[in-house]
């Protein structure tokens, strides 16, 4: 069943103030898109929101649903930059839902709950979902061959919540490959630690979830969504996580004194693992423009 509410809260409910120390000012906790070597994280995150909103054909007359809305960066963007009058977000995280609703963004409502059981009479014209699908399938379910069916159920649910002619801006982290033994059975220098670090991240930081494979997403979107465009952003996520790590370390003293040594050490290890994983092609990222099949 993927990540439970308790597991999601392990990932996102350390403290809103903790994440505020090292994310951008809008608290995007997903890959930014850099357009130049000197561009800031804040500007690159706006690029990401613009691209996905363009994919979803977001405009003032559209009703928008953000599936797994996090701290509301995309919701705030569509309300303020695109003039959307009605935007709904869904998140399993209690802390995230409280944070967004407390900001009282005009036209924005965040509902705490599981998207898989989310029910509303409303139908939406534009969907955005940024790295939420990574929480849907557990490693055990993937081993049992259930991944595509789980992702297809997600796409079906999204289809059911939309009007004819809807568009969908989707972003997912991807599993590319895992560190491997040499042909003669040995482990290259550093590979054992890489495997241990990846296991640590999946158990301690993001329990219950698993990044999908690109081919599984493409296959599962059928017969509900037509894949119009796919862009991969591996190098952008390496740069994003490296900037998060830099900011985390700048705030080491505050984090250790406020949340303890374990929180700092765990997140330092997690972000270092991410930087390495994107550098070594163990992980990647994709953005998809999807059109509803009516």
Quick one: angle between helices 41-55 and 234-250, nearest 10? 140
Q: Contact, 151 vs 137, CB < 8 A?
A: yes
Please say if 274 is a catalytic residue. yes
SS3 assignment for the chain? CCCCHHHHHHHHCCCHHHHHCCCCCCCCCCCCCCCCCCCCHHHHHHHHHHHHHHHCCCCCCCEEEEECCCCCHHHHHHHHCCCCCEEEEEECCHHHHHHHHHHCCCCEEEEECCHHHCCCCCCEEEEEEECCHHHCCCHHHHHCCCHHHHHHHHHHHHHHCEEEEEEEEEEEEEECCCCCCCCCCCCCCCHHHHHHHHHHHHHHHCCCCCCCCHHHHHHHHCCCEEEEEEEECHHHHHHHHHHHHHHHHHCHHHHHHHHCHHHHHHHHHHHHHHHHHHHCCCEEEEEEEEEECC
- Choosing from 31, 69, 137, 274, the catalytic residue is 274
Q: Contact, 91 vs 65, CB < 8 A?
A: no
Q: Contact, 90 vs 110, CB < 8 A?
A: yes
* Cα–Cα distance, 36 to 38 (Å, whole number): 6
Q: Which residues are catalytic?
A: 274
């Amino acid at each position: 069943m993927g990540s439970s509410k308790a597991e999601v809260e392990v990932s996102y409910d350390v403290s809103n103030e903790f994440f505020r120390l090292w994310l951008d000012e809008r608290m995007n906790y997903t890959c930014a898109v850099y357009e130049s070597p000197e561009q800031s994280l804040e500007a690159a995150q706006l690029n990401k929101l613009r691209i996905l909103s363009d994919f979803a054909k977001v405009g003032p007359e559209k009703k928008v649903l953000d599936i797994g809305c996090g701290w509301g960066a995309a919701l705030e963007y569509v309300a303020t930059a695109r003039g959307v009058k009605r935007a709904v977000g869904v998140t399993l995280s209690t802390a995230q839902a409280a944070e967004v609703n407390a900001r009282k963004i005009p036209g924005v409502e965040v509902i705490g709950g599981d998207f898989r059981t989310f029910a509303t009479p409303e139908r939406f014209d534009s969907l955005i979902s940024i790295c939420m699908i990574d929480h849907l399938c557990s490693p055990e379910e993937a081993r049992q061959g259930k991944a595509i069916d789980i992702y297809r159920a997600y796409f079906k649910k999204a289809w059911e919540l939309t009007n004819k002619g809807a568009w969908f801006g989707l972003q997912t982290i991807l599993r590319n490959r895992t560190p491997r033994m040499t042909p003669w059975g040995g482990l290259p220098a550093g590979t054992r630690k890489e495997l241990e670090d990846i296991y640590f991240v999946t158990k301690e930081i993001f329990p219950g979830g698993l990044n999908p494979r690109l081919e599984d997403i493409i296959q599962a979107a059928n017969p509900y969504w037509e894949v119009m465009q796919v862009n991969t952003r591996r190098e952008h996520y390496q740069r994003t996580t490296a900037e998060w790590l830099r900011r985390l370390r700048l705030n080491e003293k505050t984090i250790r004194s406020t949340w303890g040594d374990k929180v700092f050490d765990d997140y330092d290890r997690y972000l270092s693992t991410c930087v390495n994983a994107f550098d070594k092609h163990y992980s990647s990222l994709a953005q998809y423009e999807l059109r509803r099949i009516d």
